[in-house]
A and B are shown apart, each in its own frame.
Chain A
Amino acid sequence: MENPLEQFSIKKLVPLNFNGIDISFTNSSLCMLITILFVFLTLIFCLRKRNIIPTVGQAFSESIYEFIRSLIGETMGNDGAKYVSLIFTLFLFVACGNILGLFPYSFTFTSHIAAVGTLSVFFLLLNIVFGVKRRGAGYLRTFFPEGLPWLMAPLIIPVETLSLLAKPFSLTIRLAVNMSVGHIMLEVLGSFIIAMHFFGFIPLVADMCIIMFELFVALLQAYIYTTLSCVYLSQAISGEE
Chain B
Amino acid sequence: MKNLPEDIQELSERIKKFKQQKQSESAKTSKSSARVAIEAIFRMATEFVSPVIIALCIGYVADRYWATKPILMLVSAIFGCAAGMLNLYRAAQQTDKDINKE
Contact = CB atoms under 8 A, between A and B. Distances in A.
Interface centre among B42, B55, B82 (most CB of A within 10 A): B42
Interface string B22-46: 0000000000000000110011011
22 contacts: A74-B98, A74-B101, A159-B79, A159-B83, A159-B86, A162-B58, A162-B79, A163-B86, A163-B87, A165-B51, A166-B51, A167-B50, A169-B53, A169-B54, A170-B47, A170-B50, A174-B45, A174-B46, A224-B38, A224-B39, A224-B42, A228-B43
- 6 pairs of A and B residues whose beta carbons are closest in the complex: A162-B83, A170-B50, A166-B51, A166-B50, A170-B46, A169-B50
B79 A173 contact: no
Given A162-B51, A162-B83, 4 more contacts: A165-B51, A165-B54, A169-B53, A228-B43
Contacts of B38: 220, 224
Contact of B54 (A155, A166, A228): A166
Given A159-B86, A162-B80, A162-B83, A173 B50 contact: yes
Interface residues of A, number: 21
B contact face: mostly helix, strand, loop, or mixed: helix
Interface in B60-102: 79-80, 82-84, 86-87, 90, 93-94, 98, 101
A129 B23 CA distance: 44
A198 B45 CA distance: 40
Interface of A: 74, 155, 158-160, 162-163, 165-167, 169-170, 173-174, 220-221, 224, 227-228, 231, 241
Contact of B39 (A160, A173, A227): A227
Query: Size range of the interface on B?
Result: 20 to 34
A105 B93 CA distance: 43
Contacts of B87: 163, 166, 170
A170 B86 CA distance: 14
A174 to B, nearest CB: 5
Contacts of B49: 170, 173
Contacts of A228: 39, 43
